[in-house]
Chains A and B, each alone.
Chain A
Amino acid sequence: MAEMSGADILVQSLIDLGVEVVFGYPGGAVLPIYDVLYNHPKIKHVLVRHEQGATHMAEGYARSTGKPGVVLVTSGPGATNAITGITDALLDSIPMVVITGQVATHLIGSDAFQEADTVGLTRHCTKHNYLVKSPARLAHVVHEAFHIATTGRPGPVVIDIPKDVQVATAPFERPEVSSHVSYRPQVKADPADIATAVEMIAKAERPIFYTGGGVINAGPEATAALRELVELTGAPVTSTLMGLGAFPASSEKWLGMLGMHGTYEANYAMNKADLIIAVGARFDDRVTGRLDAFSPDSKKIHIDIDRSSINKNVLVDLPIIADAGSTLADLIAGWKTAGHKAANLSEWWARIDGWRAVDSLKYPADTTEIMPQHAIAGLFRATRGKDVIITTEVGQHQMWAAQHFHFDAPNKWLTSGGLGTMGYGFPAAIGAQMGNPDSLVICIAGDASIQMNIQELGTASQYRLPVKIFILNNEYMGMVRQWQELTYESRYSNSYSDSLPDFVKLAEAYGWTGIRIEGPQELEAGIRQMIETPGPVLVDCRVAKLSNCFPMIPSGAAHTEMLLDPGQVSGTMADEAKALV
C-alpha cells in the first residue's frame, strides 16, 4: 500500500468526506497541511483575518447548508482564538470539525513555542476531541470525527494534530464508515411512547407545539413533518430563537417566538396550555422564565435526541429520546392509524386571539428618528420574495430581528442563541454566503457587536462575497443599556459606544460600499440601494438611541409578568432577580 504523509492523509480524508470549503489561518504548526492545500484543485480555503472569524464562518456555513463546517488553525494562539466559536457551536448544536496544529509529539508538555493544551482546553466545549499521535490513526479519526459532529445532537469536534504526525508517513486506506465503539445515538422512538403521545395530543383541549433548533438540525424532513402534524392536529406553534423558520411565520397557526422577548400570545399560550409538545427544544432559562410558574397546568411531551436535555430544567410527563424528524413522522403515522381527526380547538383559539389582540410587538411611531423595529420591518418588506438569509449579532437588534423579520423556511436564520456571542453574525454571514452564493445574505448588526469581528471585512473583499451588513446604530450597547435602565435606575455604566468609527469610511477602506441612513425619509431608498448594489455593502443605519426591546419577561419573572412597554418599568429590581443573567 502506498504511504502518504499525515497532511496528505488529512486532506484526502476531507475530500473523501465531501468537504469543499475550509475556513482557516496558517501558522508554524500547520505548515505541512497548508503546503498540501497550495493551489488545491478540490478544497477551497477561505483565509480569514482572525481564527474566531473562521469558527463562526464554519457555523454560518453549516447552519445554512446542513453540511458540517470545517476549520483549520495553528497551535497555541490559533487554537485558543477558535475556542469562542467552538463553544458557540456546542451550545447551538452546530456540526463543526476544527483541525488544530500542535507542536511535535516529543515537544508536548515542554512549554514549547506556541504550545497550548488544546485537547485539555477544548475538552468541555466540544462534543468530542482527539489528539492524534500517529499518521496511521488519522484517516480513521477524521472519519469518526465527522460522524460524531454530524449525527445525534450535532456539535463541534476538535482534531489536534502534532506537526511531526503531519510530516510522518503511513499506509493510507479509506476507512469504512467508522464510528466509535461506544457512540450510538438513539434515533428511533419507542412505539409505545408514540402511541401514548398520540393519545395525549388527541385528548388535549389546549395543546401547543414548542419547537427549537433541533427541528432544523433534524433536516428538511423534520420541518416538513412538523408542518403536517400541525395541520393534522390544528394546534398552535411557537418556537425558540433557534427554531425560527422551522414552521412558517405566515401560517395562522404561528404564534411567534416565545420566551424573554417573545410575543404575548406565545407566552400566554404556553402558560395556559394543557399539553406542551416540545420538539428539539431544551427549556432554557430564556424560554421558561421563573421555573415554578412555567406552564403550571400542562402535561409535557419532550422529544429530544439528547437524553441530558430531558428533565434538566423542567420535569416532563413523557420523554421521547429520539430524532425529531423520525419521531414527528411516527406521530403522523400513529395519528392517522388511530383515525384521529383534529379536535375542536375553537375555544382555545378564541383565547389565543384575545392575547393576539394585545399586539405585543407594536412600537411607538416616530417621524424624526428611525425606530429600530421599523427599520427591520422595512428590511423584511424590501427583501420579500428574495432568497434571503439573515444572520445577527447579539443585543437588542437581534431580538428586534427575531420579532420583526419573519421566516417561512428553515436554515435562513442564523443567530447565536445559546452562547449569545457578539461577533458571531458577520463571519456567520460570510460562511453562509460561501455555502449559498446566490442568496442575499444580510447580517443585522449592532454598533458594538460589529466591532468584535470587523476585521473580516477584508475576507469578504478578498473572496468577492456580496455580503450585506445592516447596522442598527443606536450608539449604545443597547441591550446592556436597557438592563441598566430596568435594573440600575439608568446608571449607564460603560454601555455607551464611545469613539465609534465612521463605518462608511471604514467599509470603503476595505473596498466595500458604505451607505449611511440618517432619517426615516432615507430608510426605504437606503435599503433598496443596499440590495441593488452588487458586492459587499455596509449600511450604517442611525436609529433612535434609547429604544427598548419589548415585550420582555424580566429574568426570574413568570410568563404572565411580561412587561409590554416602558411605562411598566420601575428601574429597580430585587437582589434575587439581579443575580440572574
Chain B
Amino acid sequence: MHIAEEQSERHVLSITVTNEAGILARIAGMFTARGYNIESLTVADISEDHQISRITIVTNGPPRVIDQIIAQLDRLVPVHKVSDLTENGPFVERELALVKVAGTGEHRIEALRLADIFRAKVVDTTTGSFIFEITGPTDKIDTFIGLMRELGLVEVGRTGIVGMVRGKA
C-alpha cells in the first residue's frame, strides 16, 4: 500500500486576533494538530491600544484543505477575522531578508553590483563582508539569495511575508 498525495496550492492568509497570551501557540498548534502546512508565519501588534495583532500565514494545500484551515482558524475564540488574500483578489506581499556575503576582489564587486540591481541596501560592511537588506516578494528574495550563493553567501535571515489587499477596502 502507498500513501496518496493531493495537488496543493499556495495561499496567503491574513488573520486579526486578540492580543492575548498563547494566541500564537494556539494558531501554530492548530496547524500541526490538524496536519496543515505553514510555509511562513509573521505576527505583530497592529493597533494603537495593543489589543489586536495581525498574523500572516503562508500555507499550502488542496482547495478543500485551505477552506478547512480558514474555518478552523475562524472558530478559535480569539480570532476576529481571517482573510484569504490569494482568494480575495490582487494583493501585495513583501518580506525582508538580511543576507551576509563574504568575499574579496571580483566576487565582492559583483555582489555589490547585483545588490544594486535588486535594490538591496548595504546595512553593514567590513573589508571582507557585507550584510544586505532586501525587501520584496518571496521569489525576488529567493533569486537574490540564489545569486549570492555563488558569491560567498554566509547566512540568511528572513522575516516571512506580510500581505495586504490592494485598493481602498
Q: A-facing mask of B59-81, CB < 8 A → 1, else 0? A: 00000100110011011011110
Q: How many A-B residue pairs have CB under 8 A?
A: 47
Contacting pair B25 A123 (CB below 8 A): yes
Asked if A127 is at the interface (CB within 8 A of a chain B CB), the reply is yes
Look across to chain B and name the residue whose beta carbon is closest to the beta carbon of A577: B1
Asked if A164 is at the interface (CB within 8 A of a chain B CB), the reply is no
Complexed CA–CA distance, A315 and B64 (Å): 9
Contacting pair B1 A575 (CB below 8 A): yes
Complexed CA–CA distance, A148 and B77 (Å): 8
Asked if A120 is at the interface (CB within 8 A of a chain B CB), the reply is yes
Complexed CA–CA distance, A183 and B26 (Å): 15
Contacting pair A180 B18 (CB below 8 A): yes
Complexed CA–CA distance, A153 and B75 (Å): 10
State which of A182, A306, A307, A311 has its C-beta within 8 Å of the C-beta of B77.
A182
Asked if B22 is at the interface (CB within 8 A of a chain A CB), the reply is yes
Contacting pair B30 A124 (CB below 8 A): yes
Asked if B169 is at the interface (CB within 8 A of a chain A CB), the reply is no
Contacting pair B67 A311 (CB below 8 A): yes
B residues within 8 A CB of A127?
Answer: 77
A residues within 8 A CB of B22?
Answer: 119-120, 123, 131
B residues within 8 A CB of A181?
Answer: 18, 80
State which of B29, B72, B80 has its C-beta within 8 Å of the C-beta of A123.
B29
Contacting pair B25 A182 (CB below 8 A): no
Q: B-facing mask of A85-126, CB < 8 A → 1, else 0? A: 000000000000000000000000000000000011001100
* Residue in A127, A131, A180, A183 with the greatest tally of chain B CB atoms within 10 Å: A183
Contacting pair A307 B33 (CB below 8 A): no
- State whether A579 and B1 are in contact (beta carbons under 8 Å apart), knowing that A119-B22, A180-B18 are contacts in the complex: yes
Asked if A310 is at the interface (CB within 8 A of a chain B CB), the reply is yes
Question: Would you list which residues of chain A between 145 and 193 have a CB under 8 Å from chain B?
Answer: 148, 153, 180-183
Contacting pair B78 A311 (CB below 8 A): no
Contacting pair A131 B21 (CB below 8 A): yes
State which of B29, B64, B77 has its C-beta within 8 Å of the C-beta of A183.
B77
Look across to chain B and name the residue whose beta carbon is closest to the beta carbon of A181: B18
Complexed CA–CA distance, A197 and B33 (Å): 35
Contacting pair B1 A308 (CB below 8 A): no
Complexed CA–CA distance, A153 and B71 (Å): 14
Contacting pair A180 B77 (CB below 8 A): yes
Look across to chain A and name the residue whose beta carbon is closest to the beta carbon of B33: A124
Contacting pair B71 A307 (CB below 8 A): yes
Contacting pair A311 B64 (CB below 8 A): yes
Q: B-facing mask of A306-342, CB < 8 A → 1, else 0? A: 1110111001000000000000000000000000000
The size bracket of the interface on B is 20 to 34
Contacting pair B75 A308 (CB below 8 A): yes
Asked if A128 is at the interface (CB within 8 A of a chain B CB), the reply is yes
Complexed CA–CA distance, A119 and B72 (Å): 19
A residues within 8 A CB of B29?
Answer: 123-124
Asked if A576 is at the interface (CB within 8 A of a chain B CB), the reply is yes
Shortest CB-to-CB span from A14 to chain B, Å, is 21
A residues within 8 A CB of B33?
Answer: 124
Asked if B13 is at the interface (CB within 8 A of a chain A CB), the reply is no
State which of B25, B71, B78 has its C-beta within 8 Å of the C-beta of A180.
B78
Look across to chain A and name the residue whose beta carbon is closest to the beta carbon of B69: A308
Complexed CA–CA distance, A575 and B68 (Å): 28
Look across to chain B and name the residue whose beta carbon is closest to the beta carbon of A310: B71
* Residue in A119, A124, A310, A311 with the greatest tally of chain B CB atoms within 10 Å: A124
A residues within 8 A CB of B64?
Answer: 311, 315
Contacting pair B25 A120 (CB below 8 A): yes
Shortest CB-to-CB span from B138 to chain A, Å, is 28
Asked if B57 is at the interface (CB within 8 A of a chain A CB), the reply is no
Q: A-facing mask of B9-42, CB < 8 A → 1, else 0? A: 0000000011001100110011001000000000
Complexed CA–CA distance, A128 and B20 (Å): 12
- State whether A307 and B74 are in contact (beta carbons under 8 Å apart), knowing that A182-B79, A312-B68 are contacts in the complex: yes
Complexed CA–CA distance, A306 and B74 (Å): 10
Complexed CA–CA distance, A180 and B20 (Å): 11
Shortest CB-to-CB span from B26 to chain A, Å, is 6
State which of A120, A123, A308, A575 has its C-beta within 8 Å of the C-beta of B74.
A308
Complexed CA–CA distance, A315 and B26 (Å): 27
Q: A-facing mask of B72-106, CB < 8 A → 1, else 0? A: 10110111100000000000000000000000000
Complexed CA–CA distance, A181 and B74 (Å): 13
A residues within 8 A CB of B79?
Answer: 182
B residues within 8 A CB of A153?
Answer: 75
Instruction: Supply 8 further A-B pairs (C-beta < 8 A) apart from A124-B30, A180-B77, A182-B17.
Output: A127-B77, A131-B22, A148-B77, A180-B78, A307-B74, A308-B72, A308-B74, A576-B1
Could you pull out 26 A-B pairs where Cβ atoms are within 8 angstroms?
A: A120-B22, A120-B25, A123-B25, A123-B26, A123-B29, A124-B33, A127-B77, A128-B77, A131-B21, A131-B22, A148-B77, A180-B18, A180-B77, A180-B78, A181-B18, A182-B17, A182-B77, A183-B77, A306-B75, A307-B71, A308-B72, A310-B71, A311-B64, A312-B68, A575-B1, A576-B1
B residues whose Cβ falls under 8 Å from a Cβ of A: 1, 17-18, 21-22, 25-26, 29-30, 33, 64, 67-68, 71-72, 74-75, 77-80
